[in-house]
Each structure stands twice: as C-alpha cells, then as structure tokens.
Chain A
Amino acid sequence: MTELEILQAYWWLLIAVLGAVLVFLLFVQGGQTLLWAGRTEVERQLMINSLGRKWELSFTTLVVFGGAFFASFPLFYSTSFGGAYWLWMLILISFVVQAVSYEYRRKKGNIYGTGVYDGLLLFNGIVGCILLGVAVAMMFFGAEFTVARGNILDAGNPVISRWAPTHGLEAIASWKNLLLGVAVFFLARTQGALYFVNNISGDASFTARMRRVAGANGLVFALLFVAFVVVLMLSPGMRMQPDGTFASEPNAYLHSLLHMWWGAVILLAGVVMVLYGIFRTALDSRWRAGIWFCGIGTVLVVVILFLLAGYDSMAYYPSLLDAGSSLSISNSSSSLFTLKVMSRVSVLIPFVIAYIAYVWRKMNKQPLTPAELNREHHQY
C-alpha cells in the first residue's frame, strides 16, 4: 500500500468511528420519541432533563462527522450533499429545531407552548434517525448521480456532480434504504430506553416500564437488522477493478465480509453485545449497564458496516446511473498533503474522547432523581 492508500484507509476508519459514535448517540433522538411513554409530568421532566445533558454531544458529533467527511473525502461532500438535497435538508431542519427545543420548551415567553417544542423533539427523533439511516444505506445500495470533473469548464452549466431530478426523495422512497432507516429508528428508541434505565432512578415503575420498552423495541430492531443484513449480503456491490474501472459484483458485500474475516468476527461480537445489552436489561430488573453493552456493540457493528462499504476496493457511494462515477475512498479523497495534515490533527482525538469521558463520568456519578432535579437551577 502506498502512503496515500494508507491514509485514505485511516481516514475512512475515522469516518466509520465517527459515524458509529453518532449512531450510538442517537439514543438522544430515540429517547425524544419516548417522552410520551412518561405517565406523569415528573417522569417526562426526568426524561427530558436526562437527555438534555447529552443532546449537544449527538448534535456535535453530526457536525464533526460532516466536517471530517468534507476534509477527507470532499467529492462525497460535494456529490451527496449537493445532490440528495432534500434528504439532507430534512435531516438538517430536524436538527435545527431540536437544538432550541430543550432550552426553550418550558421557558416563560416561549410563545408556542411546551407541546410544540416536544413535538419538534419527536420530529427530530423520527426524521433524524430514519433519514440518517437512509443516508448511510445509500452507501451500499447506491444513488442516482454522475460525476464529470470537466463540467467545471462549461460556464453555462458548470456543476461537476449531478443528481436525479428528485434530489434525494427517490432515496427516501427506496425500501432497501428505508429498511436500514427504520432499523436505526428502533435501535435509537431501544438505546433511549436503556439510557433512561441507566440514568434515571427513584421511580421503580418508570424503570420497569423502560425495561419493557427496551425489550419490545429491541426485538423489532433485531428483526429489521437481520432483514437488512440478509438483503445486504444478497445485494450487488460496485467493486473497483485492477484497471481502475468499476464493475457491479453479485453478493459483493458477502465476499468482502469473507475477505475481511476479522470484520465478521467484530461484527458478530458487536451484535452479541447489542442483544445482550437489550435483553438482559429487559429481563434482569437489577441490571442497569445495558446502554454500555448495547452502545459499544452498536459502535462495533456500525464501524464494520462502514468498512464493508469502503474497504476491499468497494465503491462506498455506487452510482446507479454511471458505474464510472461511483465514489471510492481512492478516487474521492483529499490529497496526500491534506490527509497528512489532518492525520496529525487526529492525534488530538484521544484527548477529546478522554475529557468527554471524564466529564460524563463526573456529571453522571449519580443517576438523576426527582429530588436532584428540584435542586437544579437550570432545568429543561
């Protein structure tokens, strides 16, 4: 492997990790869809304040995911965001309204009332999760675009990356994409419930209810995820050939998984951790650590899914209109110089993770209780 290829693989791994952490942190969005499972105002207050201390992490991870993708694979940024316009705009709008809803929902003078802000959190929980899942699914099932760099010399029509006229709506209408989207949605709800079990105490009936919610949503997720994996393994993928062209290959992802046997092992370990986290929480009324097992398992599974999309000469953004336009980590990355610079910056990532973990631990030493909530000056 050349130095450039190593750095491309390294940055794809970082993108995979960021994407995986984002999927884990979607427990915030999932939790937002569970607010209506709170039976009393106190329960809802506990849920919203518990989530409210973490919403910025998922939001920030999405922003950094975008920034890192821009820096390392700018052709993806240019092609996907400019092409699947409506898909990304809907995702962004759902996050815009989320950002203010926590802070404003119970503030006096908020004009629209608590119900509207809670509705916006629900909107973010549903649309954000499903459409992010759809966006990731396109990395396997492809999208309708073409890339022609020479277009930039045509002053009358200069755009390099062009998309189908539906601009992302066709991706939302694809059942394969939606399958992953809905699976992500139920995973987020499951993790939201697991997070509540871990982070809120002092109300036994609430915790018991959340355990049941985690079990039920976890079951739906597991079924949808299995269906997605089966569809993925049976689907064709676009693989780069030795001459640099792309060709569609039946069962390509199955082949890649067999080539990357270590990935299959990690994927399996991740799935086991996810299932263990969910179902032990549902069944063992004293166990609260499910979010950590499920969360770490989720990260492992999603990292491997990203690696399946981008490694082993696969096109991580297959074009359904023109195979040659497909994006791979080798033809869409930044230059060697920029990847080197960014790799030096990435040395900071462990420090960032370390202080986030330290602060999280310090702030979450004790689960949130109604008594503690009453002492808080700043409430959502």
Chain B
Amino acid sequence: MNDLMSVVDWSRAQFALTAMYHWLFVPLTIGLSVIVAIMETAYYRTGNERWKALTKFWMTLFGINFAIGVATGIILEFEFGTNWSNYSWFVGDIFGAPLAIEGIVAFFMEATFVAVMFFGWNKVSRGFHLASTWLTSIGVTLSALWILVANAWMQNPVGMEFDPAQMRNVMSDFWEVAFNPVSMNKFFHTVFSTWTLAGVFVVGVSSWLLWRRSNVGAATTSLKIGAWFGIAGMLLTFMTGDGSAVQVARVQPMKLAAMEGLYDGKVGQELVGFGILNTDKKPGDDAPAMHFEVSIPKGLSVLANHDPNSFVPGINDLLQGIELTPAGDTVRTVSYAERIATGRCAQQALRDYNAARAAGDESAMADAAARVAKDFKYFGYGYFETPEQAVPPVTVTFYAFRVMVCLGGILLLVLMLGAFASSFRPRLLANKFVLWAGMISLPLVWICSQAGWIVAEVGRQPWTIQDLLPVTAGISDVPSGSVQLTFWIFAAVFTLLLVAEVSIMARFIARSSRGDIEKDNN
C-alpha cells in the first residue's frame, strides 16, 4: 500500500467530516426533544391549547432537523467498516456490541414513536401521544448513550483482553466497558451540552421573533423555557466537564498537555486563560511554548487533580515517562522510547506465536503468548518510529479547548440574561441589545459544541484505540483516490442538505412570524 499515509489522512478527513456534520444536527435533536416533551407535558396537565400550539411549532423544527440527523448518522456507523476495517476486526468483539445495543434498544424506539409524535395527534389519546413524545426523547438520548460508550471505550479501553490465537481483542467484562467512569462522564457531559444547545436555539429563535415584535406571548414563553433549560444544561455541562478534565489527566495525560500547550509541567501548574501558542515549538527543543499568555495561577493543577499544589506533566515530561498515578502522585513510568521498544517486542512475540502455531509447537506458543500478554499494554507504540509520533496536534487542540470554554462562559451569561428578563423583567425583552445577544448566540453555540468534539478527537490522536492501535494501523484497503472521491461526494451532499435544512427552518420561522403561532399550529 504505497499511499498509506494518504489513505489514513483521507479516511480521517472523511470520518471527521461525517461526524462534524452529524453533530450539527444531533445535539439539537436530543435537546429539543426534551423541550418539546416539557411543553407537551404542560399541555397534557393544563389542557391549554396554547401549549399544544407551542409544542407543534417547536416539533416542526425538531422534525426538519431530525431527518438530516438520521441521514448523516447511517454513514458514521458503516464507516467503521468501510474505512476502518482493521479497527473493526481488531476490536469489533467489544466495539460492535454497543452499536448493536444502540440499534435494538434506542433506534427502534425513536423510529417508532417519532411517527406517533408527528402523525398521532388525531389518532391516539393525549396520554399516549405524550408518552410517545417522551419515549422519542428517551430513545434519542439512549442512542447517544451507546455510541458515547463506544467512543469512550476507544479512549479508555477497559474490560477486554488480547487473544493471540484470534489476533484480536475480546471482551472480558461488559459492565466495565459500558459503565466505567469515563463513559458515564462522557455521556452526561455530551447530553447536557445538547440541552444547552437546544436551549440557546430556542432562545435565539424566540429573540428573533421578539425583535420582529411578532408572537410576543409565544416567544416570551418559549424564551423562558429555553433559557432556564439551557442554564440547567450549561451548569451540568460545566460540572461534568470538570469530571472530564480529571479523567483526561489520568487516562489521556498527553491530550491534557496538548489542550494546554504544556511541554514542561510543574507543581502548581497555571492554566492558560488566554494565550498565543508558538506553533514552531517542537517537543524537546528550547523554544518557548507560548508567545503570550494570561494565566490563572495553579489553575491546571486544580483542574486536573483538584489540588493546587499537584504536579501536571507536560508533553516533554510524558515523553520521558513522568506521569501521575490515579492517586495523584508523580511517578516515573515508561518513557515513550521504551514504549516503542516494548510495543515492538509485543508485535515480535505475536509473530513468534503465529510461527509456533504454524509449526504446531505448543510450548513455544505458550511462551510467545506470555510475552505478548506481558508487553501488550504498549502494543500500538510498536508502529511508531519516534516518540514524537505519539504527540497529538497541539495547536488545534489548544485553541479548540479555549474556544469551547470561552464560548461556554459567554453563552451561560446570555442564557442567564434571557432567563432573568423573561422571568423577572419582561420589558427587557424589548431591548435590542438583549435580543441581539440571543440571536448572536445561535451560531456561537454550534461552534462551542463542535470545538468540544475537536478537543476530544484531535486531542487523542494518533490513536484509534488508546495505546493499542494507531490510526495508521486501523484503516481499510481502499485506494486513496476512492476515499477522496467519497469524501467530496459526502462533502457536497451534506452541504447541499444543510443549506436546504437551514433554508426550510428559516422559511418556516419567517412564515410563522407573519402569522399567529398559537392559532396556526392548532
């Protein structure tokens, strides 16, 4: 395979493209499903047709978005096979299970009950319809659970062991795979972020309606619900984000170092609040890591370890093998150069195992299997030539992290302003500054959400499975030209569909603003 790196890069680009497009739509689906269910619950409890109209208004926007989220999702599942076929074999025994469970438990639930949501108003009882709306919401949230379990497992591969006879990893503990702290934290962090996104979406659209002085009652009520819901989502996202930082420090310390642009760590490490990274900096050189920075003293030590006087290792420290234990103690473990050597030993042991197996030499097989087991922890490093190959792209990870956190803070302020105005000072909702803040937050929340995934996924490079399988060894035997072609096909199709989606939504909102939402939707 002469164009190995080209295939790897284009396969990564295609997966990133699909995932990022998918994540434009899915968070709105998950978060808005809850808001719609809350509104319909109010209708069910009060019998007030106004709530029904609001439910239907937001449900229409939900439906427009739901379809395109489904469309982009199917590609993601199958791309594990089409573009990451080695990966699919090497860990399919573990990774396939959450995907299948996602389908059986979650996808059918949402597909079945979403039809009742849209078409059941005149066919089923009010109670059954409300149950269907909640079941759709539970279904979309459950589907997030299982795909996030799968994603978290790639970053923290637990509950499995390597079987040299099958040349692959096999599951040994399902509960550890499904419900380890990393997967649970990732699930809650992600789902709460979708609540924020949907809350901001509702606030943004409602602000536009109020700016047009249209449907003031419906828009104010929606804005109030969206803002409070968004605040709840944002606070919970911050809380779980704190948990994520602690876990990343333990499980993927190199990712944390990249997020901070930190090369040489220290006790009481500061957190870069704002800074300009020296993009020419390389591991091991003497160049400064930052051109300019405004830092929070001891901030990173607090973030990573909840201890202001703890040590946080940088990229150079990690390459030399200086890490933290789960208890937070600094230790010298295995340097990356040693990991490469150990990984190569594991791979050689596996070759020896295969040779012994072919020769029918059971004693040699047992010996080789024992050597594989001893060194397997660093199996993936055996694919590298130099330790620096195990360092993720620092610039993208560093800036994406800052974009996510800064925008998160700004959005929280906007949501608080919206909640305060709609709940306590309605006249503020006539203030153009307040309404513009709501409208501008619309694109910002998507940028924030995408930045979060960029931190998570770029920061874990070069691994498909942490420490065990780098992206270079996870690919399919497909020519680079074919992957490039499908990349551009997807890029074109997704972009055309996105343009249509945004246009349909904008037209629907604009048309609604010219009428009476509470009458037109009943």
- Nearest CB of chain A from residue B8's CB, rounded to whole Å: 10
Q: Are A70 and B63 in contact (CB under 8 A)?
A: no
Q: Are A81 and B108 in contact (CB under 8 A)?
A: no
Interface residue stretch chosen among A1-9, A85-93, A240-248: A85-93
B116 touches A (CB below 8 Å): yes
Q: Are A57 and B92 in contact (CB under 8 A)?
A: no
Give the residue name and chain of the B residue nearest to A60 (CB).
B111
A206 touches B (CB below 8 Å): no
Q: Mark A295-306, 1 if CB is under 8 A from B, else 0.
A: 000000000000
B211 touches A (CB below 8 Å): no
Residue count of chain A within 8 Å CB distance of chain B: 82
Q: Are A92 and B75 in contact (CB under 8 A)?
A: yes
Q: Are A59 and B70 in contact (CB under 8 A)?
A: yes
When A104-B67, A158-B473 are in contact, do A71 and B111 touch as well, CB less than 8 Å?
no
- Nearest CB of chain B from residue A376's CB, rounded to whole Å: 7
Give the residue name and chain of the B residue nearest to A99 (CB).
B71
Q: Are B86 and A158 in contact (CB under 8 A)?
A: yes
Q: How far is the CA of A372 from the CA of B120 in the complex (A)?
A: 12
- Nearest CB of chain A from residue B369's CB, rounded to whole Å: 15
Q: Are A337 and B504 in contact (CB under 8 A)?
A: no
Which residues of A sit under 8 angstroms from B472, Cβ to Cβ?
155, 158
Residues of A77-131 at the interface with B, using a CB-CB cut-off of 8 Å, are: 77-83, 85-86, 88-89, 92-93, 95-100, 102-104, 107-112
- Nearest CB of chain A from residue B422's CB, rounded to whole Å: 27
| Most-contacted residue by chain B among A79, A89, A365 (CB, 10 A) | A89
Q: Are A365 and B507 in contact (CB under 8 A)?
A: no
Q: Are B500 and A159 in contact (CB under 8 A)?
A: no
Tell me which of A86, A108, A161, A348 contacts B477 (CB under 8 A): A161
| Most-contacted residue by chain B among A82, A161, A363 (CB, 10 A) | A82
- Nearest CB of chain A from residue B16's CB, rounded to whole Å: 17
Interface residue stretch chosen among A34-42, A210-218, A255-263, A339-347: A339-347
Q: Are A63 and B107 in contact (CB under 8 A)?
A: yes
B486 touches A (CB below 8 Å): yes
Q: How far is the CA of A352 from the CA of B351 in the complex (A)?
A: 45
B97 touches A (CB below 8 Å): yes
Tell me which of A63, A348, A378 contacts B63 (CB under 8 A): A378
When A77-B88, A78-B85 are in contact, do A335 and B104 touch as well, CB less than 8 Å?
no
Which residues of B sit under 8 angstroms from A286, Cβ to Cβ?
none
Which residues of B sit under 8 angstroms from A78, Cβ to Cβ?
81, 85-86, 88-89, 92
Q: Are A77 and B92 in contact (CB under 8 A)?
A: yes
| Most-contacted residue by chain B among A72, A348, A359 (CB, 10 A) | A359
Tell me which of A79, A86, A100, A153 contacts B482 (CB under 8 A): A86
Which residues of A sit under 8 angstroms from B134, Cβ to Cβ?
none
Which residues of A sit under 8 angstroms from B506, Cβ to Cβ?
109
Q: Are A82 and B477 in contact (CB under 8 A)?
A: yes
When A66-B77, A81-B85, A359-B115 are in contact, do A335 and B171 touch as well, CB less than 8 Å?
yes
Q: Are A348 and B105 in contact (CB under 8 A)?
A: yes
- Size category of the B interface is 35 or more
Q: Are A377 and B504 in contact (CB under 8 A)?
A: no
Q: How far is the CA of A356 from the CA of B104 in the complex (A)?
A: 12
When A83-B477, A377-B121 are in contact, do A100 and B508 touch as well, CB less than 8 Å?
no
Q: Are A74 and B70 in contact (CB under 8 A)?
A: no
Q: Mark A363-380, 1 if CB is under 8 A from B, else 0.
A: 101000000100111100
B295 touches A (CB below 8 Å): no
Q: Mark B483-515, 1 if CB is under 8 A from A, else 0.
A: 000100100010011011101111110010000
Q: Mark B386-425, 1 if CB is under 8 A from A, else 0.
A: 0000000000000000000000000000000000000000
Tell me which of A70, A89, A102, A159 contacts B1 (CB under 8 A): A159
Which residues of B sit under 8 angstroms from A335, Cβ to Cβ?
93, 163, 166, 170-171
Q: Are A67 and B100 in contact (CB under 8 A)?
A: yes
| Most-contacted residue by chain A among B96, B107, B114, B501 (CB, 10 A) | B96
Q: How far is the CA of A79 from the CA of B109 in the complex (A)?
A: 30
Q: How far is the CA of A161 from the CA of B90 in the complex (A)?
A: 12
Q: Mark B198-221, 1 if CB is under 8 A from A, else 0.
A: 000000000000000000000000
Q: How far is the CA of A70 from the CA of B374 in the complex (A)?
A: 29
When A159-B1, A345-B101 are in contact, do A103 and B63 touch as well, CB less than 8 Å?
yes
A-B contact pairs, 21 of them (CB 8 A): A53-B119, A57-B112, A72-B100, A75-B89, A78-B85, A81-B476, A82-B81, A92-B75, A103-B66, A152-B90, A155-B473, A158-B473, A158-B475, A159-B477, A334-B93, A345-B97, A345-B101, A346-B104, A348-B104, A352-B104, A362-B124
Given contacts A60-B108, A81-B78, 16 further A-B contacts (CB under 8 A): A53-B115, A60-B107, A71-B96, A72-B100, A78-B85, A78-B88, A81-B476, A107-B64, A110-B504, A165-B479, A334-B93, A334-B97, A338-B170, A341-B171, A346-B104, A352-B105
Please give me the 10 A-B residue pairs with the lowest Cβ-Cβ distance, nearest first. Answer: A74-B92, A82-B85, A81-B81, A109-B507, A64-B103, A82-B476, A71-B96, A99-B71, A71-B100, A70-B96
